[in-house]
Chain A
Amino acid sequence: MRGANRACAERSVPSRGRSGADLREARSSPSLVVAAFGVFAIFAPLLTGCGAGDAPGVAGGPVAMRRLTESQYRAAIADVFGPEIEIAGRFEPDGRRDGLIAVSSAFVTVTPSGFEQYEGMAREVARQAVSEPLRDRWISCQPSDPAAKDDGCSEALLRRIGPRLLRRPLEAADIAPRVAAAGRAATELSDFHAGVELIVSSLLVAPDFLFRIEALEDDAPPGEPLRLTGASLASRLSYLIWNAGPDDALLARVAADELSDPEALAQEVDRMLASPRFEAGVRALFDDLFQFDAFDELGKDPIRYPMYSAKVAADAREQTLRTVVDHLVEQDGDYRALFTTRRTFMTRTLGPVYALPVRTETGWEAVELPASGPRAGLLGHASFNMLNAHPGRSSPTLRGLFLRESLLCQSVPPAPADVDFGLFNADDDPKLRTARDRLEVHATHATCRNCHKLTDPIGLGLEQFDGLGRARTAENGAPIDPSGDLDGRVFEDAASLGEALAESPLVPACLVENAYRYAVGRVATLDERPLLRHLERRFEAEGHRIAPLMRAIALSPAFQTATPASGEGQERS
């Protein structure tokens, strides 16, 4: 055991990816780094292993206070009041940090106009939720007089929905004021359900609904890591695995204080991974990782890309997510094979972009992309190619940047502030017919070359797809050369670039890193690096399947504990 621990601890933190400088700025003061090392030193003797077996017992980094994303908000309403409820309103932008909305969500706040929207949405949801017949779904008691208040019934229904919305057991302070206010409203308007509306609205504008606030237990023995409270751990689990709040069964575990029991925890994780809702969790992870929120603002030049429509874009996004979920969850497949598989899904809306026949008139059908065609794996999907492109043409640079940052976890420095755009008269030059010709300036100019050598050569591998993702063999009459090399691995075209990615050890390691960021809402701390190494090995040992990876993250000690950052004044009650 000791030897394994030492090997694990001694493994150097590789220079690839981000290190201490990437820690959340707000918490990356020198004192935090010192504190983090300090904790690591304390817990080092407790490490229990780092092979494909147990996770190293490092403590997790700081906790987070994350604002619900739009999809999480929607899921919460649908879970509690039913999918019929229409949520209409404008959500504040989620932002993106360290590649993920999940990380940004721990930084964003609520503006006055954003709060107005939340308040309006809350009232509208409440109005629908108490209307016939939707109220029967969740209001189990009958008021003694529907035109008067009924504190007993109000309290009963508050106790039913409160824990689901606030993701924790209710306290007395949550109940009495709401029941009293509901009573006043019911009396004033001679309508019991007006009071119920008030209760619902008050939950939906509450800070502990709109934010997932993580809290720590205060009873850790000296020298032990601080554990997340049962409710906070339950939220972490359910948002990681389902991208939704805890269900009743999980909340029952919280109420019974059972999640601190490793066996009970493992049972819960396995139950959640086996649930149909796991698909939604995986879908949300990849929607975030692939930056698909950008579809909401995507637009294309209608003259250059007349096939583009909002529906085409929506279906392209869905196609990729459906392929990911089918491969990773339904088929329990190897993550790497996503970059080579020709199995995907198609609609009649999307068919023209792929120039493929679609038998199904409405909805989706599974298809096998033609083996003789240029498309294989996710990189051949229209989604990436239309997203990582300009409104009027493709962009090898944007595509390469996406591959480097999101799939390989490599950082590409931003363009220098004094970049000389005068070097680009390329679009007007009839001699420069292909993107490769036009990007030559990147390769020959020293200031450009340093960064563009990272992006352009691999991005050019996707030039077989235009700015909408339609296949092509020529640009402006000149044949396209899609060959290149990925850090020494030669590829001939987009399909073989996919094979190169499938072979790269960086690709699964990057997913591990992103999944962990996604799980805890921040980049891994230096302390947590050995855990990432461990997770990589586990991922590999278990065939690069997503469910075992999620399980390993959820059951790792770092996921369940946190380091109070010094100077942050974590108050303990």
Chain B
Amino acid sequence: MASTKIGSFPHGAFIRLLPIVPCVPIVLCVALGCERDAAPEAAAQSAEAPALRGYVMARWHDEIPHEDPGECPDGLNTTEVEYFPEQWKAYMAERQRVREAEGRFIRWDHPLLPPDACQDPLAQPDPGYLTLDGPAKVAGLDLDGIASTSRGQGEGEGDVEAGANACAHDDFTSPTGEPGIDNQAWRLMGCVRGYRPNDLMDRLHQANTMIKEGGYAILMEISGMDDPRDDDAVEVQLLSAAAPVTLDAVGEPMEQVSFTAHADPTYHSAWARGRIEGGILTTDPVDLRLKIKQQTQDNAVYLRDARIRAEVDADGRIEGIVGGYWDSENFWSMMNDHTIGGTPQGRNAAFNRGFMCAGLHHAIPRVADGHPDPETGRCTSISTALHFEARPAFVIRPQLAAVDRAGE
């Protein structure tokens, strides 16, 4: 049985993606980004306003609400355990039996269970999927510049015709009352148990577990920031780091640490044009691929047209939101591509979080709101928002990093 891929984007070299990056001319990377890569050191050592300022993300996680998450009048999504109770009961008994007799775990793609939809999403019929519908508050950015409503619900002022880049969707209101928030990822996951307040994902975020346990480390560099309150032309780059953050004596990510950026430039964004007005940094959109390696996952998150809105504080820390469009295919992969020792674990991860892979697969195109396919007109990305907190650090370009030069 063949699986259906949602969207199809090239996964090759970073440069191949550039033609589809809006607002960032190729010449920018060539002229500025690559040249800067060559010698950031001398500047960073100077005590004057440095040409380049580096940061490490002390926090970086989905914007999901701790409270007032919005209503799920039909309840939460079910898992396979409830949907196929007989098969799962038999499977769990067998799992326990083998474990006791042989001290090992049987696979999740086991004949006693229905086919594993996390590996092959069309192997099961669509069981349906509950999205978070109706008005709700969630943080994020207004990515498409309009307050949209979905086609047919009609009471909003904007709709699908208004945004050339938008498939039909409802916008949210931010916790501070700002309308037009594009965050379809929350609409998709808002009625999943593991994403509810104080449940799995929220707890991971509150405890900052993924960064502290080294699941990912993300760097940022800002070029040309003369005044952290007001500067009409800065440039910003986001990069994966080669090694995890360093924790201090109270367990918090440490400032002023030197990080080597990831050796693969796929995980360095292009330099985004930005500006600071009254201490608020905003940037133009760029594409973003960042390495994620945590627990059962070794993957990279792919956001398209990602942009920053954040506040620069007096200590040089920057806190705010990265909003962008999460590539649908990548979203699916991030939800399901889990393995332990080569054995697929997506099914395990799905019931830990509280959804069914088959349902999620069919729900993704229903909520997608970005990057319509020119031929089919179907959207291929999902608006989302990430919360981040950046602290001063040093970004070392991999070609300049030295392993054990020993100072001799």
Taking Cβ atoms with an 8 Å cutoff, the residues of A that contact B are 300, 302-303, 305-309, 322, 345, 348, 351-353, 355-366, 370, 372-373
Contact = CB atoms under 8 A, between A and B. Distances in A.
B54 to A, nearest CB: 8
A302 B248 CA distance: 8
B47 A362 contact: no
A322 B394 contact: no
Contacts of A308: 249
B178 to A, nearest CB: 35
Nearest to A355: B256
Contacts of B254: 306-307, 352
Contacts of B401: 359-361
Nearest to A366: B407
B41 A356 contact: no
B407 A306 contact: no
A127 to B, nearest CB: 32
B249 A309 contact: yes
Nearest to A309: B249
A357 B46 contact: no
A356 B45 contact: yes
Interface in B3-57: 41, 44-48, 54
B221 to A, nearest CB: 12
Contacts of A360: 401-407
Contacts of A355: 256, 392
B405 A365 contact: yes
A364 B407 contact: yes
27 contacts: A306-B248, A306-B249, A307-B249, A348-B258, A351-B256, A351-B258, A351-B394, A352-B246, A352-B255, A357-B54, A357-B394, A358-B394, A359-B41, A359-B396, A359-B401, A359-B402, A359-B405, A360-B402, A360-B403, A362-B403, A362-B404, A363-B405, A365-B405, A365-B406, A366-B407, A372-B46, A372-B48
Contacts of B252: 306
A144 to B, nearest CB: 47
A526 B260 CA distance: 59
Nearest to B47: A372
Nearest to A310: B249
B400 A359 contact: yes
A370 B47 contact: yes
Contact of A370 (B46, B249, B258, B403): B46
B314 interface: no
B250 interface: yes
Contact of A357 (B243, B258, B406, B407): B258
Nearest to B407: A364
Contact of B257 (A303, A306, A348, A372): A348
DSSP class of B's interface residues: helix, strand, loop or mixed?
A: loop
Contacts of A365: 402, 405-407
A363 B404 contact: yes
A355 B260 CA distance: 16
A363 B41 contact: no
A189 B243 CA distance: 52
Contacts of B243: 361
A363 B406 contact: yes
B405 A357 contact: no
Contacts of A366: 407
B256 A302 contact: no
Contact of B407 (A305, A307, A322, A370): A322
Given A357-B394, A372-B47, A363 B407 contact: yes
Contacts of A345: 407
Nearest to A323: B407
A351 B260 CA distance: 13
B246 to A, nearest CB: 8
Contacts of A362: 403-404
B402 A361 contact: yes
Given A322-B407, A366-B407, A358 B258 contact: yes
A352 B257 CA distance: 5
Nearest to B249: A302
B44 A357 contact: yes
A349 to B, nearest CB: 8
A357 B403 contact: no
Closest 7 CB pairs of A and B: A357-B394, A302-B249, A364-B407, A306-B248, A352-B256, A363-B404, A372-B47
Contacts of A359: 41, 258, 396, 400-402, 405
A359 B242 CA distance: 13
A370 B402 contact: no
A216 B257 CA distance: 56
Contacts of B248: 302, 306-307, 309
Contacts of B392: 355
A303 B252 CA distance: 11
Nearest to A354: B256
Contact of A306 (B48, B250, B400, B403): B250
A361 B403 contact: yes
Nearest to A330: B408
A158 B31 CA distance: 71
Contacts of B242: 361
B211 to A, nearest CB: 16
* Residue in A308, A348, A364, A365 whose Cβ sees the most chain B Cβ within 10 Å: A348
Nearest to B395: A357
Contacts of A309: 248-249
A357 B250 contact: no
Contacts of B394: 351, 356-358
Contacts of A363: 403-407
Contacts of B255: 352
Contact of B47 (A348, A353, A357, A373): A373
Nearest to A300: B249
A372 B254 CA distance: 25
Nearest to A362: B404
Interface in B78-133: none
A348 B254 CA distance: 12
Nearest to A312: B249
A362 B404 CA distance: 5
Nearest to B257: A352
A563 B275 CA distance: 79
Given A357-B258, A359-B402, A360-B402, A305 B249 contact: yes
Nearest to A357: B394
Interface string B220-242: 00000000000000000000001
A353 B246 CA distance: 13
Contacts of A307: 248-249, 254, 256
Interface string B368-408: 00000000000000000000000010101000111111110
Nearest to B243: A361
A477 to B, nearest CB: 12
Contacts of B257: 348, 351-352
Given A352-B255, A356-B45, A359-B258, 9 more contacts: A300-B249, A302-B250, A305-B249, A309-B249, A357-B44, A357-B396, A360-B402, A370-B47, A372-B47
Contacts of B45: 356-357, 370
A304 to B, nearest CB: 10
Interface string B240-279: 0011001011101011111010000000000000000000
Nearest to A308: B249
* Residue in B242, B258, B392 whose Cβ sees the most chain A Cβ within 10 Å: B258
Contacts of A300: 249
A309 B252 CA distance: 13
Nearest to A306: B248
Contacts of A373: 47
Contacts of B404: 360-363
B285 to A, nearest CB: 29
Nearest to B258: A358
